[in-house]
A and B are shown apart, each in its own frame.
Chain A
Amino acid sequence: MPEVRLDTEEALAEGEAEITSDRRAGHSEVLPLYSPPEFTWTNDVDKCRRCKRCIMQCGWKTLSWQDRVVPDHSKCVGCHRCEATCPEQCITVRPNAQHFKPHALWSLGHRKNVWRQADTGGVLLTGMGNDQPYEVIFDHLVLDACQVTNPSIDPLREPMELRTYLGKKPESVEVEMGPDGNLRARTRLEPNLELATPILFAPMSYGSISLTAQKSIAMAAAECGIAWNTGEGGLHEEVKPYADRAIVQCASGRFGVHAGYLNAGAAVEIKIGQGAKPGIGGHLPGEKVSLDVSQTRMIPVGSDAISPAPQHDIYSIEDLRQLIYAIKEATQYTKPVCVKIAAVHNVAAIASGIVRAGADMIYLDGFRGGTGAAPTVIRDHLGIPIEIAVAVVDQRLREEGIRNQASIIAAGGIRSSADMAKAIALGADAVAIGTAALLALGCTLCQKCYTGRCSWGICTQDPELTRRIDPRVGSQRIANLVRAWSAELEEILGALGLNAVESLRGSRERLRGLDLHAGTLEVLGVKPAGVGA
């Protein structure tokens, strides 16, 4: 519980009133501030067989043993790890039933933040994606289906093509007869990243997540024939066997980036921004830079890994082009280069510049995208939704006749195969999933990633916690998710009468809006429900 002490005697002695959060002993007068625990922890004492597993499972040290399990409610983050692992299923974690006077303007969240900042004077941190109740556009879009006049396709008996190639496509393709009597392309094709289904895993570095979590994701990518992304944390030995399915990231800190790293992956990504923290750099605190993390990032143990907000060699589109081609030169033009940006107001013009700078893919991260750590105020208030960003970027690139020069990856709040299908219909080539993949590993969205104490072993470097993920099991769970979404996408395509996902790309005519403002519909390029073709 935070408390502020008013040092009355000293203040009077010095002739000034001063409020301090100093907790030195001997200060008598206390001004208590109340910040209620978010959750309450209870167990059925009759059923509890005192195995103490819950105490060991909690990464936040909420529970202790005093002849029985005793909770410190203020430490519980509501991750439900103890509940899930209790052999007697006798634990219940529930939101603290707080009866504060309701106030439509001053939500309890606002009040708590003020109390905490009055206590600490610090920038509030959080994890995962924006949790504020903004309207979700995906939930106001519906897909078309075939009836009578245009037959649907049954994916159970007809082939469905989900295979997706990300990268530059030629203006036109000339073919010629090869010596073996087969037709072959005469046009030189640019390197593309081949995906068996239009899904990638979002960048999550070793350091931000555990190696067991990253390895689970990498193995799932290899199994599903899709791609994972190193994030800005280098390539650890353990995941090198899956490097041919990796997008290796080059961001402002250049951690672990060297020529061998750039050439190890299937593609290279230049990270400019992230949906959860547009315009903000990254910052892995020194205490999280263990020996192993230091080796992968190629920095000293215990040193802060600071990724400055901009890349200081990129202050313009021309500078971006310079880095894109530096990477192409260093990889001898064998790897497609992706540029990742946060979706912001001017995203269409920025994307146009990125394509003209020579990028082969643009990764658009909407304002609901996840993070291991970000200032709460940034996560919750900067950027625009991915639905809008994809629509305006696709539209702009088409208008300028350069849509073929780069693929679009949509990310930041893709929750289901329906969101994926809608994002593709709005103009994406593929979607990237981060939060969904972590949910498959057990994440319950407690949003405490930044503490590094994740009880599920995902967002932590504590070996006691990280070993809770067995990559063989974790990868299967994530691969299952990818397979399920792919099968559902096939069902959706069949209902739409399509047999290839590329036929859905940018096909906004197959979308209709429900309860969306005229302005939003116009930006999306989508008609309201009820309007026919």
Chain B
Amino acid sequence: MTTLPKEIEPIARARIDAAGLHYRELNARIREAIAAGEREIKLANVNGQRYIGAGVAGDVRIEIHGVPGNDLGAFMDGPTVMVHGNAQDAIGNTMNGGKVIVHGDAGDVLGYGMRGGRILVRGDVGYRVGIHMKAYRTQVPVLVVGGNAGDFLGEYMAGGLLVVLGLQRRRGQPLVGDYCATGMHGGTIYLRGEWERSRIASNQVAARAAGEDDLRELRPALEEFCAEFGLDVERVLGEPFARLTPVSHRPYGGKYAA
């Protein structure tokens, strides 16, 4: 499901027309703008350029009109990236901090090895989302999916918070795909509404209905998500949530001879 990019007033001071630009040129211009002191950058006519925001640090806001290419915000550490449209694969790859907001759908392999920051996707996401997310000290990565997710969600998850809301789910459509949380050994996954136990690696994950304490843990992430997309958090919380946590922090510890 795609939310059409809404035309908003240009708030950015720096505006870069990405039409016809190779990603290397576009990203060099973004870095130049940041080096020149710009803190708000608007990219127009983005059409598949990769690596936007890759390795960029600091308090910067990048607004993207169009569809950014793969590895948006890879290794990113601080910036806020707003996508008015759909996004592609590998958003927030090994991201350390910052925020990526996607108003449409996003592709596969989101948040791979992500250690900090937030990825908020209004629509659906593809396969292999949130693999090996990990937390460290005060860094707790958060990935919220407004729609549905494909197979291998949260595989090898080692830390952080992964939420799938299924807000625009059609009847009979699965919330998450197969092999969800396989090898999970840290972090928490919340699934909203109906989900199928057969999709979950049940020998490695404990699943139960989320209680009040759990919803308190979840609430800040949902409030931020709802504020970003103009949704009513109480309505989102109106459906029951399931909470998935790993059975062991050492899922493969017993496999080897001592």
List 18 interface pairs A-B (beta carbons < 8 Å), by A numbering.
Answer: A122-B254, A122-B255, A123-B257, A254-B134, A259-B57, A286-B249, A298-B139, A299-B136, A299-B159, A300-B159, A304-B253, A306-B132, A306-B158, A312-B128, A313-B109, A322-B90, A326-B50, A326-B51
- Assess whether B55 is in contact with A116, with CB atoms less than 8 Å apart: no
Q: Which residues in B have their C-beta under 8 angstroms from that of A326?
A: 50-51, 54, 71, 74-75, 90, 93
CB within 8 Å of B: which A88-141 residues: 116-117, 119-125
A308 engages B156 (CB within 8 Å): yes
Q: Mark A247-269, 1 if CB is under 8 A from B, else 0.
A: 00010111001111011000000
Given contacts A254-B94, A308-B156, A322-B70, contact A303 B257 (CB under 8 A): no
Residue of A nearest to B23 (CB): A329
Closest 5 CB pairs of A and B: A330-B55, A254-B113, A122-B257, A259-B55, A329-B51
User: Would you call B251 an interface residue if the criterion is a C-beta within 8 Å of the partner chain's C-beta atoms?
Assistant: yes
Specify the chain A residue showing the minimal Cβ separation from B27: A329
User: Could you tell me which residues of chain A, from 289 to 348, have a CB within 8 Å of some CB in chain B?
Assistant: 294, 298-300, 302-304, 306, 308, 312-313, 322-323, 325-327, 329-332
Asked if A285 is at the interface of the complex by the 8 Å CB criterion, the answer is yes
A283 within 8 A of B: yes
B185 touches A (CB below 8 Å): yes
Interface size of B as a range: 35 or more
CB within 8 Å of A: which of B99-136? 109, 112-113, 115, 128, 131-132, 134-136
**What residues of B have a CB within 8 angstroms of the CB of A258 in the complex?**
75, 77, 94, 96, 115
| Bound form: Cα–Cα A298–B27 in Å | 28
Q: Using Cβ atoms and an 8 Å threshold, which residues of chain A touch B249? A: 286, 302-304
Known: A124-B257, A313-B93. A330 touches B74 (CB 8 A): yes
A122 to B96, Cβ gap below 8 A? no
CB pair B55–A304 under 8 Å, yes or no, is no
Contact partners of A263 in chain B: CB under 8 A: 55
Tell me whether A122 and B258 are in contact (CB under 8 A): yes
Q: Which A residues touch B70, using CB under 8 A? A: 322
Point out the residue from A124, A257, A286, A294 that lies within 8 Å of B94, measured CB to CB.
A257
Q: A122-B257, A259-B55, A323-B93 provided; 9 other pairs, C-beta below 8 A?
A: A254-B113, A254-B115, A258-B94, A283-B252, A304-B249, A304-B251, A325-B50, A329-B27, A330-B51
Instruction: Output the nearest chain A residue to B57 by Cβ-Cβ distance.
Output: A259
B134: contacting residue among A117, A286, A298, CB under 8 A: A298
Chain B residues, Cβ within 8 Å of A304 = 158, 185, 249-253
Assembly CA distance A258 to B232 (angstroms): 35
| B115 surroundings in chain A (CB, below 8 A) | 254, 258, 298
Of all chain A residues, the one with the shortest Cβ separation from B110 is A313
Taking the complex as formed, is B177 at the interface, i.e. its CB lies under 8 A from any CB of chain A? no
Complex interface: chain B residues within 8 A of A260 (CB) = 57, 77
The smallest C-beta distance from A436 to any residue of chain B, in angstroms, reads 28
Render A227-263 as a binary contact track against B, CB cut-off 8 A, 1 for contact.
0000000000000000000000010111001111011
Q: Which of A122, A303, A332 contacts B256 (CB 8 A)?
A: A122
A contact residues around B77 at 8 Å (CB): 258-260
Residues of A within 8 A of B63 (CB): none
Question: Contacts of A124 on B, CB cut-off 8 Å?
Answer: 256-257
What chain B residues lie within 8 Å of A325 (beta carbons)?
Answer: 50-51
Tell me if B185 and A253 are in contact (CB < 8 A).
no
Q: Which of A117, A252, A259, A375 contacts B96 (CB 8 A)?
A: A259
Whether B158 lies near A303 (C-beta < 8 A) is yes
- A123–chain B nearest beta-carbon distance, Å: 5
- Verify if B146 is at the interface (C-beta below 8 Å from A): no
Is B183 on the interface with A (CB-CB < 8 A)? yes
B186 an interface residue at 8 Å Cβ cutoff?
yes
* Chain A residue contacts of B251, Cβ below 8 A: 304, 306
Q: Would A312 and B112 count as touching, CB distance under 8 A? A: yes
B55 near A331 (CB under 8 angstroms)? yes
A300 touches B128 (CB 8 A): no
A45 to chain B minimum Cβ distance, whole angstroms, is: 33
CB distance from B227 to the nearest CB of A (A): 28
The distance from the CB of B114 to the nearest CB of chain A, in whole angstroms, is: 9
* B249 shortest CB reach to chain A, Å: 5
Contact A306–B185 (Cβ < 8 Å): yes
- Using Cβ atoms and an 8 Å threshold, which residues of chain A touch B199? none
Specify which chain B residues have a CB less than 8 angstroms from the CB of A116 in the assembled complex: 257
Looking at the assembled complex, report how far the CB atom of B158 sits from the nearest CB atom of chain A, in whole angstroms.
Answer: 6
- Find chain B residues with CB under 8 A from A294 CB: 136
Partner of A285, one of B128, B134, B136, B253: B253
**Do A253 and B258 have beta carbons less than 8 Å apart?**
no
Known: A257-B94, A258-B77. A306 touches B252 (CB 8 A): yes
